[in-house]
Amino acid sequence: MSETPKVSFQDVHISFGANRVLQGFNLDIHPRESVVIIGGSGTGKSVTLKCLLGLLLPQRGSIRIDGEEIVGTHGRSRTRALAKFGMLFQSAALFDSLPVWENVAFGLIQGKGRSRDEAKKIALEKLGQVGLGDDVADLNPAELSGGMKKRVGLARAIATDPEIMLFDEPTTGLDPIMGDVIDQLISKCVKEIGATAISITHDMASARRIADRMAMLYKGQIIWAGAVSEIDDSGNALVDQFIHGRAEGPIQMEIRTP
Amino acid sequence: MTGVVIQFLSTIGRLFLTFLGAIGGLTLFTASAVVNSVTPPFYFRLIARQMIVVGYYSLPVVGLTALFTGMVLALQIYTGSSRFNAEGAVATIVVIGITRELGPVLAGLMVAGRVGAAMAAEIGTMRVTEQIDALTTLSTNPFKYLVAPRLIAATLMLPILVLVADIIGVFGGYVVSTQKLGFNPATYLKNTFEFLETIDVTSGLVKAAAFGFIIALMGCYSGYNSKVGAQGVGSATTNAVVTASILILASNYLITELFFAR
């Protein structure tokens, strides 16, 4: 593919004290592609997303969006870059102090400067897109179940029709049926708005459902990347162990034995 | 032996570096908070909401504190001054004591306990539940949205609260003096206002504005830098109240010296 990647990570390094989390992270994600980054807990998946959003600053390396460097940017250029993103957080991260519709409309009112009436209309439409009726619009987030919170979080993420959507462990904490519902909604919403999607998860069933391509993160680097159909024949022992969820193999968990 | 000395010195060094890091972090946070509080956009709806939380909802606790303080002050000054036949000074000492010191300091400490703790807990919970990260991804500056409204509201509302506390405190002294100690109401009021100077009240209001700034700053700073988990939010809340209280007492001395040292 010769077109400019939508998102490009090049040799990204980030450490927290002696803990080196990303050690030369490289990955290109192309427009309208859905890439899922898989990997064990603590391998740096969430850190990768936070670096992309500018919430963490890599010590070395480059992150480009549409060919534009975003590492270390401030002010308007950062705001311009952030406006391209929509994110569904692991815990949904809904604002407790605002009703559901205001949560969904937040980016429209604060980021895009839409009027409250106009934003509420769009918020209700987006809630409908994720299968929630107008009756939940005035509820507080605390009154919602885990699955409903995720759907409101998804509605908030798609409210501004972002170019790039980020999903942090979208099915964690949900029952398998609700997990499947969320995955279907993610695939549908991403296709409808024509966004590029980057998801991180260690739920393989979910990853297979939403990904066009998968990349496995291990010890701060991408050790394998390829189409979903190729993952079962990756020829990589680390990938094989991870996707089959085996305790025995080259990935050794640091568990102290009595 | 050398190893023990090196370990001791490295511990001191580490503590010193941590201390410097904390000072640097607080300084940068303060600078950013102030800049974001005085530059647009302003979230007037949030500022108004915080003004109600800081000002209106603190009225009962601040009012009761001022009332009982004024009553106790009148009683104490009366029993003390009667030893050298200076009972006539009760009204003047009560009003000066309340307006210069007890009104702003006690209101500041009570609001630090009520509002500073709530700010730290609310922002700390937002930090650990990724709501602050969510704000950033929605193109909203958390300093403008969370910190600036609280800072502006507390700095504006504390002087108003203290003005109310001054009036209630003086009223408390008046009630005890006239109803229990046998003072003539007209004479008491005349003595209250005759020797009261503008600087007595304005110095208290300047202190109140400074205390309001400190309370909101420490509440927001502690919450914003809260560690993960319930314990992290708990520590942030404690830190907010303790540091704000100490800074209120320390800055009270500095402001008093600025106004009244000769």
Q: Considering only CB atoms, which chain A residues are within 8 Å of B130? A: 89-91, 93
- The alpha-helical segments, DSSP class H, found in chain B are 2-38, 44-54, 59-81, 90-96, 103-111, 117-128, 131-137, 142, 148-179, 185-194, 198-224, 230-260
pLDDT band at A235 (very low <50, low <70, confident <90, very high): confident
Q: Is pLDDT above 60 for A1?
A: no
User: Mean per-residue pLDDT for B84-104?
Assistant: 93
- The alpha-helical segments, DSSP class H, found in A17-99 are 45-53, 75-82
Q: Considering only CB atoms, which chain A residues are within 8 Å of B121? A: none
Neighbouring-strand partners of residue A166: A87, A198
pLDDT band at A2 (very low <50, low <70, confident <90, very high): low
Give CA separation, A254 vs A20, A40, A41, A185, A219, in Å: 16, 12, 12, 36, 13
User: Cα–Cα distance between A176 and A174 in angstroms, integer?
Assistant: 6
Instruction: Give the side-chain half-sphere CA count within 13 A for B105.
Output: 17
The encoded tokens of residue A189 equal 């919403």
DSSP 8-state class, residue B144:
I
Domain ranges of chain B: 55-260
Preceding omega of A141 cis (within 30 degrees of 0): no
User: Mean per-residue pLDDT for A111-135?
Assistant: 91
Q: What percent of chain B has pLDDT over 70?
A: 100
Virtual torsion, Cα B105, B109, B111, B112, nearest 10 deg: 130
User: Cα–Cα distance between B143 and B156 in angstroms, integer?
Assistant: 18
> Whose CA is closest to B53, among B125, B61, B34?
B61
User: Mean per-residue pLDDT for A119-133?
Assistant: 91
Q: Do B130 and A96 touch (CB under 8 A)?
A: no
Nearest CB partner across the interface for A53, out of B125, B136, B140: B136
Which residue did the predictor score with more confidence, A248 or A204? Answer: A204
Q: Considering only CB atoms, which chain B residues are within 8 Å of A166? A: 137
Give the pLDDT of residue A192: 87
Q: Is pLDDT above 60 for A258?
A: no
DSSP 8-state class, residue A159:
T
Q: Is pLDDT above 70 for B228?
A: yes
Which residues lie below 8 Å from residue B85, measured CB to CB, with a gap of 6+? none
Instruction: Give the side-chain half-sphere CA count within 13 A for B189.
Output: 5
pLDDT band at A255 (very low <50, low <70, confident <90, very high): low
Q: Considering only CB atoms, which chain B residues are within 8 Å of A96? A: 125-126, 131
Q: Considering only CB atoms, which chain B residues are within 8 Å of A111? A: 138-140
User: Cα–Cα distance between B195 and B197 in angstroms, integer?
Assistant: 6
User: Mean per-residue pLDDT for A11-32?
Assistant: 93
Give the pLDDT of residue B39: 93
User: Cα–Cα distance between B177 and B180 in angstroms, integer?
Assistant: 6
Q: Do B139 and A110 touch (CB under 8 A)?
A: yes
Q: Do A110 and B138 touch (CB under 8 A)?
A: yes
| CB proximity under 8 Å: B 115-134 to A | 125-126, 129-131, 133-134
DSSP 8-state class, residue A4:
P
Give the pLDDT of residue B212: 98
Give the pLDDT of residue A175: 84
The packing angle between helices B230-260 and B103-111, to 10°, is 170
Mean pLDDT (chain B) is 94
Q: Do B139 and A111 touch (CB under 8 A)?
A: yes
Give the pLDDT of residue A254: 60
Which residue did the predictor score with more confidence, A141 or A18? Answer: A141
Give the pLDDT of residue A109: 92
> Which chain A residue shows the shortest CA-CA distance from B138?
A107
pLDDT band at B144 (very low <50, low <70, confident <90, very high): very high
The encoded tokens of residue A62 equal 């480059």
Which residues lie below 8 Å from residue A105, measured CB to CB, with a gap of 6+? A114, A116, A119, A120, A122, A123, A159
CA triplet B105, B222, A169: central angle to 5 degrees?
A: 155
User: Cα–Cα distance between B242 and B254 in angstroms, integer?
Assistant: 19
- Could you tell me the strand order of the sheet in which A19-29 lies? A19-29, A7-16, A60-65, A68-69
User: Mean per-residue pLDDT for B246-253?
Assistant: 97
Q: What sign results for the dihedral spanned by CA atoms A191, A196, A199, A205?
A: positive
Q: Do A91 and B129 touch (CB under 8 A)?
A: yes
Which residues lie below 8 Å from residue A83, measured CB to CB, with a gap of 6+? A111, A160, A162, B139
Which residues lie below 8 Å from residue A32, measured CB to CB, with a gap of 6+? A6, A194, A195, A196
Scanning the structure block, which residue is given the tokens 């909101």?
A: B216
State whether residue A93 sits within 8 Å of chain B by CB. Answer: yes
Give the pLDDT of residue A185: 85
ipTM of the assembly?
A: 0.86
Pairing relation of β-strands A68-69 and A60-65? antiparallel
Which residues lie below 8 Å from residue B252, measured CB to CB, with a gap of 6+? B101, B104, B105, B108, B207, B211
Give the pLDDT of residue A249: 80
Q: Do B136 and A82 touch (CB under 8 A)?
A: yes
Q: Is pLDDT above 90 for B20?
A: yes
User: Cα–Cα distance between A31 and A196 in angstroms, integer?
Assistant: 5
pLDDT band at A256 (very low <50, low <70, confident <90, very high): low
Mean pLDDT (chain A) is 90
User: Cα–Cα distance between A78 and A70 in angstroms, integer?
Assistant: 7
pLDDT band at B109 (very low <50, low <70, confident <90, very high): very high
User: Cα–Cα distance between A41 and A44 in angstroms, integer?
Assistant: 8
Give the pLDDT of residue B63: 97
pLDDT tens-digit series, residues A64-107: 999 999 998 887 888 888 889 999 998 899 999 999 999 999 99
Give the pLDDT of residue A111: 81
Map residue A70 onto helix, strand or coil. coil
Q: Considering only CB atoms, which chain A residues are within 8 Å of B133? A: 50, 53, 55, 89, 93
Q: What percent of chain A has pLDDT over 90?
A: 59
